[in-house]
Chain A
Amino acid sequence: MGKKKLSFKDIMVNYGVIIIMILLVIYTGFTSKNFLSGNNLNNILMNMSSRIVIALGIAGCIITAGCDLSAGRMIGFGGCIAGTLLQKMDYSKKFFPDMEPLNIFVALLIVMLICALFGCVTGFFIAYMHVPPFISTMAMMEVVYGINLLYTNATPLGGYTKQYTDIATGKFLGINYLIWIAILVAAITWFIFNMTRHGKYMYAIGGNPQAAEVAGVPVKKTLIIIYAKAAAMYGLAGFMLGAKSGGASVNLGLGYEMEAIAACTIGGVSVSGGRGKVSSAIIGVAVFELLKTALQFLGVNANAQWIALGVIIFVAISLDIRKYVARK
């Protein structure tokens, strides 16, 4: 067998989207001088941070040949819970007027636990009731949105404590906390994917669920953990987004699930299951953010940018499927 020489075609199929991106970044960097400035790059990284957390959560679901449409609403829910727990005492429209703001770590823990609980429910329906992930996560999307509406009365939240907004503005070693959080999450996810049984089971279920069952893999348990873990990560992302914008509403995170699924696919997390790395999700998010920013800098009509994003998804998924078909 041996190592095959990579042909131009192979390279284009495997890395085409990324190569086009690099060219676009270089071109934009030359034509508009601010694009590659430290400030702008930091901005891009800040934008990427929460999206990486979301994409890594969703990547776990996609690797098991599933998906998670509830991500966006779960982010909004997480952001709103965090918001209600972390408002200043002197804020006039405080949600819980008499409650001292919680410690941010306690608040984060509560957010992640509540989201994980909902993730468990989604996972239960997927694993035990055999509801297809597309449907069950869609159902959860509606449920979570409704609960969030009831919880917040659809009023926007603001007046966050300094401790909370510092998450977005504060720095450690010259790098924003938000970016550190993304790095930490990526590291932990890498560890889970590669160094634990759970990670190996996840790949096995995505590769061939029947074979996983025969090989003694606890398929149902693994699926539930995956959806719960993903939901906890959406909660974290909601927490991060809330800190960044200094407020939250029920529509926080709307549509982010689609962006995250697209990013995973662009990066090489196979929608047919069984394939995908932590780096795939991160690269996908990077491609997406760079594309958006580059198009802005190039002065492309903001409405037309949506078309570019859509085209990228078409191309990336076609190439991904090609890889899969070719291997068979």
Chain B
Amino acid sequence: MAEYLLELRGVSKSFPGVKALDNVSLALRPGTVHALMGENGAGKSTLMKCLFGIYKMDAGEVYMNGEKIQVNDPDDAMRHGIAMVHQELQPVPARSVAENLFLGRFPVKKLGPIQMIDHKKMYKDTEYWLHEVKMDFNPKALLGDLSIGQMQSVEIAKAVSHQAKVVIFDEPTSSLSDNEVEALFRIMNDLRDKGVAMVYISHKMDEIKRIADDITIMRDGTYVGTWPAAELTTEQIIAKMVGRELTNVYPERKNEPGEVIMEVNDFCSIHENSFQHVSFKLRKGEILGFGGLVGAQRTELLEGVFGIRGVASGEIKINGQPVKIKRPADAMKAGIGLITEDRRGNGIFGCLSIKDNVGVSVYNKYLKAGFVLDHKSINAVVDDSIKKLRIKTPSMKEHIANLSGGNQQKVIVARWLANDPDILIMDEPTRGIDVGAKHEIYEIMNDLAAQGKAIIMISSEMAELLGMADRVYVMCDGKLRGEITEKEEMTQARVMGYATQF
């Protein structure tokens, strides 16, 4: 038997404009838990999706027990005994546990010429496999009625029932309670005893130390190295994850922050797992950074401030006056703007023109006789912002969908500038746009700050966060874990330290 149960060699994968994986290797020993670590965007999930056949790798080979195998799609992967447990992979919440477990391979019995589903066998087998992972709940229960942890164990039971030899866990504990984490670890220990090799992706250092046998670290789509877990300290892991030079150059700031414009006190989400008891302050002319890992609830917090997400309790004060924000319109009245993280999802209107995309939130301001749109003034405003923000387009009538990501982002910036907010929240303002446009967005941010506007920037790109922000808050697991006020103290290790304080 080969030393390694599964080997990935020289895997590369590019997306348009980004090299997501560059010659990455990974080797799993049988009967071990192999932690895969790295910052946001290091390529961990991409690598696993390549292994599982969700993405097609551009280059690279997969070996199982020393033999080369080909994985074209998740079905192939399952046939080769590779399974993936992913919290977003809840196949059919409206159907029963048993149906989910046997989806696509229902046991059948013959009734004359008719094939029909053998429900009895299905429920019995489900019970058996659930018992295998020490989870005794009703196979007839609706999957959607289970807790996330229970749903995960259904996924695990499915993996076990496939006789999987390799199981991938992609951030399985990010929304589990402590008890559920314990249950998961128990199952993982069982699987380890059975000789199954597991990949475990997580940012939680204490969990890694408890469960992992080996650790592979990735950085910016490249392979850093593999070490036995016992040989690395938490500090060493963080150092290896972030150990890179800051290469991007950020335009110089022209002003110093002024007095406090907004105060958020003891903000709590209506969801227990989301942001809880967060308080922060924002100053005029300041770029305030929010750092943290994906899932730290930064977006949720600031969308809560803007009135999109449910807020259970907490207070917002603007210029010392408490304001009530229930809907985005309230936030806008209070002088807040929000550029959302998901540009396609809730930013742009793809089928509308640039003009309408900018105009949609300022049509209120440009009316003749109280109700007729003043197209002339609106055109002037849109034209002006196309020039100022250097939006590359033949005309303002062009559909926004025809622009590049960077130019779309500038159109959204233009929408909010037309609104003239005092506070602008920018959630991942440079996600998915090219380097040139990034730099232009940075310049726009600096200009706005110099005009005395207050900017909140959420960024998962460490370099951007540290390069742009005057001050940084770091969140983890819905809570504010640290504040870094001095430029000299803004280091990647410091931020990562706070960001992993679960």
Contacts and interface: CB of A to CB of B under 8 A. Distances in A.
Given A214-B340, A215-B361, A204 B373 contact: no
Interface stretch (B163-171, B228-236, B363-371): B363-371
Contacts of A197: 363-364, 367, 371, 373
Q: Which 10 A-B pairs have the closest CB atoms?
A: A207-B349, A210-B346, A274-B351, A215-B361, A197-B363, A216-B329, A216-B332, A211-B346, A216-B361, A215-B360
A216 B328 contact: yes
B356 interface: yes
A214 B347 CA distance: 8
B309 to A, nearest CB: 11
A160 to B, nearest CB: 36
A9 interface: no
Nearest to B361: A215
5 contacts: A207-B351, A211-B348, A213-B327, A270-B351, A328-B350
Interface of A: 1-2, 194-197, 200-201, 203-204, 206-208, 210-218, 270, 273-275, 327-328
Contact of B308 (A194, A214, A218): A214
Given A1-B402, A207-B351, A208-B346, A217 B361 contact: yes
Given A196-B372, A197-B364, A211 B347 contact: yes
Interface residues of B, number: 35
A210 B371 CA distance: 25
B465 to A, nearest CB: 23
Contact of B349 (A208, A218, A270, A328): A208
Nearest to B303: A214
Nearest to A215: B361
Nearest to A200: B363
B349 A211 contact: yes
A217 B327 CA distance: 10
B interface secondary structure, majority = mixed
B360 A212 contact: yes
Contacts of B367: 197
A29 B257 CA distance: 76
Interface of B: 306, 308, 327-329, 331-332, 338, 340, 345-352, 356, 359-361, 363-364, 367, 371-373, 375, 393-394, 398-399, 401-402, 415
A213 B328 contact: yes
B345 A210 contact: yes
A1 B329 contact: no
Contacts, number: 85
A223 to B, nearest CB: 15
Given A1-B398, A200-B356, A203-B356, A214 B346 contact: yes
A196 B328 contact: no
Contact of A327 (B331, B371, B398, B401): B401
A269 to B, nearest CB: 12
B394 A1 contact: yes
A198 to B, nearest CB: 9
A206 to B, nearest CB: 8
Contacts of A210: 345-346
Contacts of B331: 216
Contact of B373 (A200, A211, A327): A200
Contacts of B361: 215-217
A203 B338 CA distance: 21
A150 to B, nearest CB: 38
A2 B402 CA distance: 11
B348 A195 contact: no
Contact of B348 (A208, A216, A270): A208
A11 B320 CA distance: 60
